[in-house]
């Protein structure tokens, strides 16, 4: 059952990613990205990470992608012309992608041998477990990350602020 | 339990809940027309059936039989997809709402479609996906009023979603769980005295939730997205027939869901306001129907308040709406979290 669901949603994610690249209209690409994000959420759920799955939907598929679609809608870019890329992209790009994938795959496999793999199972990491780890064992890194995000927010506000001369 | 039994029971439950939910949607529309009529010193619909009770049926028939016009300038795939997204998100959120005692039959909860650990988060995530229905409908209609209406609606929903989510944190802190059933159980002991809104000390959270929920469902006094005087119809200007009806149903469905959530989180869900003052009912029928009666009564009261507010308050201006959300509701919700945490930690 888990495997069937995994296959279905992995397929959704891959199809969405491929569609993202192939679509000519930016809004279709943005919507494909939403499909990818939501399918990833289901994959997290299959691994028992329920809080992470919902955070993925609320934050990525919800908030962040709404901003993407807003930008596309407001700029109202027309259709893009389909090209097969430059000569350089074909000669260098494809081998580079293959090499990158190989490096990533081998790194993940090695890490998997080191830490052990998670299997699709009925086990669930409850929100209580997750918050215990975040707020007790990893409190300092967690709070440092939030400070980092706060700095990013302040930076965005400072950049977006209109310069009216007296500020 | 065997798989086929599970499937059959689930399908039956889904069918029953859907039928009841859609009927409730139709009759909420009638309730609104009746009440707003009375508030404005007129009768509201009275002609079809006794007291106008068959009006929703005729309205539905009318919308169904109307010509479905698709303007030539629209971006068709998204124009057709948008009402589906809006309606399905509205229907989806009812799936995690428990509406009666936790009794089981063959190991399956009877009065909830799916009882989840993270029910509350599911509700929030479904709302955050529901924004797309509105955003896409306005853009794909290729009409400036639709676009402006949908931009307003999406910006408003995203802004108030923050205050809405944060106002629920106090409740979650008290129940120490994201499961809606657990949240109700915490409030069940002493009746009205242990409801979150009174005994739980979440009265401010309740008021914040109330205001944020009105904005989240695009209802008066925050119904800027469909302000007729400025935007003709807002994001659904170019929609007709059943596609318009789908937006309409989605809006009223969201109203009912929001009322159910308010009932569960703040008003003690299906528990009676008398708590342990009354002895637990001996009769099985009373034991089953009593909780459902209280749940429906509370949801109805909340819907009544919704409509009352619509009939009473004038519309906000858009900049007022935004500054109210960001500069008042959001800080107030954060203060409530700090206060609740301090109280729970030190008392």
The pLDDT tens digits of the residues spanning B166-190 come to: 888 888 888 888 888 888 888 877 7
Cis peptide bond upstream of B221, omega within 30 = yes
CB B13 within 8 A of CB B113: yes
Higher confidence at residue B83 or residue A1?
A: B83
Start-to-end C-alpha separation, chain B: 44
Residue B17 domain flag:
no
Tokens standing for residue B192: 């009205």
pLDDT at A167: 46
Examine the pLDDT at B245 and tell me if it is beyond 70.
yes
B-interface mutation test, from A23, A30, A62, A63, most B Cβ less than 10 A away: A62
Residue B10 domain flag:
no
Residue B27 domain flag:
no
B-interface mutation test, from A39, A52, A57, most B Cβ less than 10 A away: A57
CB B136 within 8 A of CB B85: yes
Tally of domains in chain B: 1
Q: Across-strand partners of A49?
A: A125
Separation in Å, CA of B54 to nearest CA in chain A: 39
Residue B49 domain flag:
no
With an 8 Å Cβ cutoff, are A58 and B128 in contact?
yes
Label residue B46 exposed, middle or buried (CB < 10 Å: 0-12, 13-18, 19+).
middle
Task: Spell out, as residue ranges, where chain A has pLDDT lower than 50.
Answer: 167
* Chain B: residue whose CA lies nearest to A58: B125
Judging contacts by C-beta atoms under 8 Å, the chain B residues touching residue A69 are 132, 135-136, 139
With an 8 Å Cβ cutoff, are B118 and A51 in contact?
yes
3-state DSSP of B154-188: HHHHHHHHHHHHHHHHHHHHHHCCCCHHHHHHHCC
Q: Across-strand partners of B109?
A: B104
Query: Using CA of residue B257, residue B261, residue B263, residue B268, what is the dihedral sign?
Result: positive
- Taking only the tens place, the pLDDT of each residue in B152-165 is 888 888 888 888 88
Residue B230 domain flag:
yes
Separation in Å, CA of A73 to nearest CA in chain B: 6
Tokens standing for residue B285: 């029928």
pLDDT at A98: 92
Please provide residue A41's backbone torsions phi and psi, each rounded to the nearest 5 degrees. -60, -40
Least confident of B41-50, B200-209, B220-229, B262-271: B220-229
With an 8 Å Cβ cutoff, are A50 and B78 in contact?
no
With an 8 Å Cβ cutoff, are B135 and A127 in contact?
no
Count Cβ–Cβ pairs < 8 Å, chain A vs chain B. 59
Start-to-end C-alpha separation, chain A: 60
Q: Across-strand partners of B104?
A: B109
With an 8 Å Cβ cutoff, are A62 and B129 in contact?
yes
CB A3 within 8 A of CB A120: yes
* Nearest CB to B117 within list A50, A62, A69: A50
CB A45 within 8 A of CB A53: yes
B-proximal residues of A, 65-84, CB under 8 Å: 66, 69-70, 73-74
- Taking only the tens place, the pLDDT of each residue in B19-75 is 988 899 888 888 888 888 889 888 888 888 888 888 888 888 888 888 888 888 888
Label residue B345 exposed, middle or buried (CB < 10 Å: 0-12, 13-18, 19+).
exposed
Which segments of chain B does DSSP mark as H helices, in order? 3-39, 55-65, 76-92, 119-140, 144-175, 180-186, 203-216, 228-231, 241-266, 284-312, 318-323, 330-346
* Chain A: residue whose CA lies nearest to B134: A66
Cα distance between residue B333 and residue B339, in whole Å: 10
* Chain A: residue whose CA lies nearest to B121: A54
Work out the average pLDDT over B297-307: 90
Judging contacts by C-beta atoms under 8 Å, the chain B residues touching residue A62 are 125, 128-129, 131
With an 8 Å Cβ cutoff, are B128 and A61 in contact?
yes
Cα distance between residue A70 and residue A9, in whole Å: 26
Determine the length of chain B. 347
Cα distance between residue B13 and residue A117, in whole Å: 38
Label residue B115 exposed, middle or buried (CB < 10 Å: 0-12, 13-18, 19+).
middle
Residue B81 domain flag:
yes
Label residue A157 exposed, middle or buried (CB < 10 Å: 0-12, 13-18, 19+).
exposed
B7 touches chain A (CB under 8 A): no
Residue B101 domain flag:
yes
Judging contacts by C-beta atoms under 8 Å, the chain A residues touching residue B131 are 62, 66
Cα distance between residue B66 and residue B245, in whole Å: 11
Domain that holds residue B149: 71-346
Residue B53 domain flag:
no
A-interface mutation test, from B77, B121, B216, most A Cβ less than 10 A away: B121
Please provide residue A49's backbone torsions phi and psi, each rounded to the nearest 5 degrees. -95, 80
- CA distances to B93, B169, B291 from B261, rounded to whole Å, are 10, 14, 16
With an 8 Å Cβ cutoff, are B117 and A127 in contact?
yes
B-proximal residues of A, 96-125, CB under 8 Å: 124
Judging contacts by C-beta atoms under 8 Å, the chain B residues touching residue A128 are 176
pLDDT at A102: 94
With an 8 Å Cβ cutoff, are B122 and A50 in contact?
no
Q: Across-strand partners of A125?
A: A49
Query: Rg of the Cα trace of chain A?
Result: 20
> What is the complex's ipTM, to 2 decimals?
0.80
CB B135 within 8 A of CB A66: yes
CB A62 within 8 A of CB A34: no
The model's pTM is: 0.85
- Taking only the tens place, the pLDDT of each residue in B94-147 is 888 888 777 777 777 777 778 788 888 888 888 888 888 888 888 888 888 888
Cα distance between residue B235 and residue B146, in whole Å: 4
Cα distance between residue B57 and residue B94, in whole Å: 22
* Nearest CB to B118 within list A69, A73, A127: A127
With an 8 Å Cβ cutoff, are B125 and A34 in contact?
no
């Amino acid at each position: 059952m888990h495997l069937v669901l995994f296959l279905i949603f992995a397929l959704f994610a891959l199809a969405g990613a491929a569609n993202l690249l192939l679509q000519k209209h930016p809004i279709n690409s943005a919507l494909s990205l939403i499909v990818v994000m939501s399918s990833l959420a289901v994959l997290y759920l299959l691994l028992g990470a329920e809080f992470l799955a919902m955070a993925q939907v609320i934050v990525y598929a919800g908030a962040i992608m709404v901003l993407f679609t807003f930008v596309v809608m407001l700029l109202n870019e027309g259709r893009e012309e389909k090209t097969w890329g430059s000569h350089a992209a074909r000669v260098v790009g494809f081998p580079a992608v293959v090499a990158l994938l190989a490096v990533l795959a081998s790194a993940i496999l090695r890490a998997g041998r080191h830490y052990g793999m998670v299997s699709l199972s009925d086990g669930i990491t409850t929100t209580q477990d997750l918050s215990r780890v975040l707020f007790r064992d990893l409190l300092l890194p967690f709070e440092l990350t939030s400070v980092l995000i706060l700095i990013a927010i302040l930076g965005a506000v400072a950049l977006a602020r209109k310069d009216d001369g007296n500020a | 339990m065997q798989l086929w039994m599970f499937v059959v029971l689930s399908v039956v439950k889904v069918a029953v809940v859907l039928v009841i939910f859609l009927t409730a949607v139709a009759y909420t529309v009638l309730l609104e027309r009746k009440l707003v009529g009375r508030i404005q010193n007129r009768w509201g619909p009275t002609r079809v059936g006794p007291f106008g009770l068959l009006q929703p049926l005729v309205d539905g028939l009318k919308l169904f039989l109307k010509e479905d016009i698709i303007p030539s300038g629209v971006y068709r795939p998204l124009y057709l997809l948008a009402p589906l997204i809006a309606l399905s998100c509205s229907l989806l959120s009812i799936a995690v709402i428990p509406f009666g005692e936790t009794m089981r039959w063959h190991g399956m909860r009877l009065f909830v479609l799916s009882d989840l650990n993270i029910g509350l988060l599911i509700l929030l995530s479904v709302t955050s996906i529901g924004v797309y229905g509105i955003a896409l409908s306005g853009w794909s209609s290729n009409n400036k009023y639709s676009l402006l209406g949908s931009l307003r609606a999406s910006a408003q929903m995203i802004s108030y979603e923050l205050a809405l989510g944060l106002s629920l944190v106090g409740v979650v802190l008290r129940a120490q769980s994201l499961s809606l059933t657990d949240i109700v159980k915490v409030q069940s002991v002493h009746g009205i005295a242990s409801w979150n809104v009174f005994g739980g000390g979440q009265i401010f959270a309740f008021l914040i939730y109330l205001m944020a929920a009105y904005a989240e469902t695009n209802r008066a006094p925050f119904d800027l997205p469909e302000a007729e005087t400025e935007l003709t119809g807002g994001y659904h200007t170019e929609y007709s027939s059943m596609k318009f009806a789908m937006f309409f149903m989605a809006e009223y469905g969201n109203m009912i869901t929001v009322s159910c959530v308010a009932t569960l989180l703040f008003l003690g869900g299906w528990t009676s306001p008398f708590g342990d003052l009354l002895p637990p009912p001996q009769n099985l029928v009373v034991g089953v129907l009593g909780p459902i009666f209280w749940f429906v009564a509370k949801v109805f009261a909340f819907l009544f308040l919704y409509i009352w507010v619509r009939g009473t308050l004038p519309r906000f201006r858009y900049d007022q709406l935004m500054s109210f959300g960001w500069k008042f509701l959001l800080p107030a919700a954060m203060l409530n979290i700090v206060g609740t945490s301090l109280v729970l930690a030190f008392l």
